[in-house]
Amino acid sequence: MKDLNMVFAGFGGQGVLFAGKVAAYAGLLENKEISWLPSYGPEMRGGTANCSVCISDEPIGSPLVTAPNVLVAMNLPSLDKFINAVEPGGTVILDSSLIDKKVERTDINVYYVPSSTLAEENGVSGLANMILIGKLFHEVCMAEGDYGFCKEETLDKAIQKCIPARKADMLEFNRKAVKLGAEQ
């Protein structure tokens, strides 16, 4: 497997840290070396939030991702902040419901997923992050190439593990959101 160096970014409250945690946990369940490094402003909701996730077969030297090969952006400020750091050949998955800008770079793969709109229309409000995880899984894990870091059942186990007990009733909604994203 080729090293995955991912950045999940958006506003606090959009679930970017949770999405990164699910991806990291999926790597952990597949016996990969992982790191998950959250970064957020002092505001709990509405401030900036992002996390660096590294998944590798080898020990990870630094948990900070400065040149991601995957960027998941949930708002325009996050896209603007990280787009130029994505390495050539990398993948960008963005919430096109909230980002109406087209990426000008031609050396990366960009997927425009209207995840916030899809979440509202499909009864999974607040789970746009998991729709993007579904797209990430479909494009990175399921695609041919060197990046596959987990199987579908592993991703499901990671979601089960990351959902806190007090929100156990959200499991099926999260599964539905991931499925929606994989179908985009």
Could you report the per-residue pLDDT of 29-67, keeping only the tens digit for each? 999 999 999 998 766 666 789 999 999 999 999 999 999
Query: How many whole angstroms separate alpha carbon 116 and alpha carbon 65?
Result: 26
**Spatial contact of 135 and 113, defined as CB atoms under 8 Å apart:** yes
pTM over 0.75: yes
* Average pLDDT of every residue of the chain: 92
Domains and CATH numbers, the chain: 4-182 (3.40.920.10)
Q: How many CA atoms lie within 13 A of 52 on its CB side?
A: 17
Per-residue pLDDT at 1: 66
User: pLDDT tens, 65-96?
Assistant: 999 999 999 999 999 999 999 999 999 999 99
Contact 49, 41 (CB under 8 A): yes
Say if CB 60 and CB 35 are below 8 A apart: yes
pLDDT at 31: 93
Q: How far apart are CA 75 and CA 170, in angstroms?
A: 24
